[in-house]
Structure 1
Amino acid sequence: MFVNIYTRLKAFLSLLNMSPILTQKVPLTLALLWLTIVNVNHHAYAIDFKHMPNKQFNVLLFTKTNEWHHKSIPTAVQALQKLADKHYFNLVWHEESRYFNDDYLSAVDVVVFLSTTGDVLAEPEQQALQRFMSKGRGFVGIHSASDTEKNWPWFQQLVGHTFVIHPEVQTALLTVETDKFPGMSAFKKSMLWTDEWYDFSPNHNENLTYLLSVDERSYNTKSDWGKVNGKGMGEFHPIAWYQNFAGGRSFYTALGHLPAVYQDEAFLAHVYGGIFWAATGKNFTELLSK
């Protein structure tokens, strides 16, 4: 509990652009007062869904990191809360993995792994996630969700591809592979996009439907991390996709490294489209094809 509160307090103070020295001098009473206000007025900071209103669906936002920690996470959490308010769904944010149990997940329609890294679930929690998906529920992975649980084959299949390496953040040409999916109409067919372009492993499932790709001719694909080197993925470089998996639905997008991306309306429509489909299974293919 304290880890969660401490992390959220740091996020709040960072929004005020407070220096580390000034941050240390903030009175504890002020911090606790702010946390009380947030817990009352913003459902993202609630513990569970028990006392929330009946909305479209319930989303568990999970941001635990055991390796690289993205500075964009506080901004991303705020952006997803705004999406929840805009599209009338409940959102609860946690960094503790103990909420991955059958009782808690029984009230959840979609779990969102937002920029998670490393091994974040104990074995009983992994089993709870597998049972959750088998009941027809949804999974959404954003950015480094593909750099999570690399030693767990089932999770890698759930995500679809595994992160390998990336070059420096650059502007590149992002291409829409299909617009027959919720949220994709917000993108232009081809557009300039600045992000961290992941190289991935070969796909872990053959039934992935690709939504976005990046044109490797438009940026420098070379990366060198000593033990690992990268030079891109070749003619086709996927960035976002979805699939039916293990009885449920899985959506993944590699976009989302920079805080500024979470202010982009096309990206937010893309993320909500994934959440909506994962929650409901509706992709409006017939309507969008007319």
Structure 2
Amino acid sequence: MKKIIVIPFLLVMFLSCNAQEKDRILIFTKTAGFVHESIPDGKAAIMKAGKERGIGVDTTSKASYFTNENLKKYKAVVFLNTTGDVLEEEQQRTFEEYMRGGGGFAGIHSAADTEYEWPWYGKLVGGYFKSHPHIQNAVVKVVNRDHPSTKHLPESWDRRDEWYNYKDLNPAVTVLAQLDEQSYEGGENGSHHPIAWYHFYDGGRAFYTGGGHTSESYWEPDFFEHVMEGIIWAADLQKVQD
């Protein structure tokens, strides 16, 4: 009689653990350059949203965590305000294999200020940081509202952040939003100044948004929904939310 009770219980526990493992994301926060004070707020907001949506969220600032055994647990890896050279060559190869196996990548703000000597990453993130003016309000022109990360946004979106200028932009990405350089000081990309985009890259999904310098950004409803829906898209977890 005990076996009849115990075996189904263990089976339920096994299936429950597998379900939790299946729908997880990893937040990576290593910095080898400027350290954003907003990183703790970004982590806290994503972890809170993950709990509310039934998505497991782990965090690490250790590059040594990038092993095949570890990354296979995750539907997406979020580079949250990483800076500089954060992965060694073996870890880079591991991450490339992860993406080629159908993994997801979401880059936030200074993910574009990361790994300048790794061309594969440059194409993945979609562009590198060039410069930025002071923090100020700017008008974001949402040019694609069909994507989950932008469908809730107005076509003209006024918000405050640190606005990056970019170099080495990947022309293969699909732009979601652009900056109106007439609405603020210090823009250097001209009439084509993308600030958020996505693409399918080397077997996986990649999303990037240039906002997220300030701590306040992650508690701003419209911006954070933009971030979270971008992560969910990169992780290919839309079906979980429907």
**TM-score, normalised by the number of residues in structure 1:** 0.74
Structure 1, unpaired ranges of 5+: 1-49, 222-230, 284-290
* Residue of structure 1 aligned with 2:95, choices 109, 112, 129: 129
| Matching residue of 1:164 | 130
Q: Distance in 2 between matches of 1:101 and 1:147?
A: 23
Identity of aligned residues (%): 38
| Matching residue of 1:253 | 209
Matched, 1:142 2:98: no
Q: Distance in 2 between matches of 1:274 and 1:67?
A: 25
**Contact 1:55 1:89 (C-alpha < 8 Å) held by counterparts:** no
**TM-score, normalised by the number of residues in structure 2:** 0.88
Structure 2, unpaired ranges of 5+: 1-15
Q: Distance in 2 between matches of 1:251 and 1:216?
A: 22
How many residue pairs align between the two structures? 224
Deviations 1:89-143 (A, max 9, x none): 0100000011101111111110000000000001110000000000011000000
| Matching residue of 1:235 | 191
- One-letter amino acid matched to 1:78: A
- 2:151 partner SS: helix
* Residue of structure 1 aligned with 2:172, choices 207, 210, 222: 207
| Matching residue of 1:220 | 185
The structure-2 alpha-carbon separation of the partners of 1:182 and 1:153, relative to structure 1 and needing over 3 Å to count, comes to same
**Contact 1:140 1:250 (C-alpha < 8 Å) held by counterparts:** yes
- 1:54 partner SS: helix
Give 1:35-50 correspondences, 5 Å limit. none
Matched, 1:119 2:75: no
Give 1:87-126 correspondences, 5 Å limit. 87-126=53-92
More displaced 10-residue stretch of structure 1: 269-278 or 58-67: 269-278
Q: Distance in 2 between matches of 1:120 and 1:191?
A: 33
- One-letter amino acid matched to 2:230: G
**Deviation at residue 191 of structure 1 after TM alignment:** 2.1
**Contact 1:173 1:193 (C-alpha < 8 Å) held by counterparts:** yes
- 2:225 partner SS: helix
Q: Runs of 4 or more off by more than 4 Å in structure 1?
A: 50-53
- 1:185 partner SS: coil
Structure with the greater relative contact order (CA < 8 A, sep ≥ 6): 1 or 2?
Answer: 2
| Matching residue of 1:185 | 151
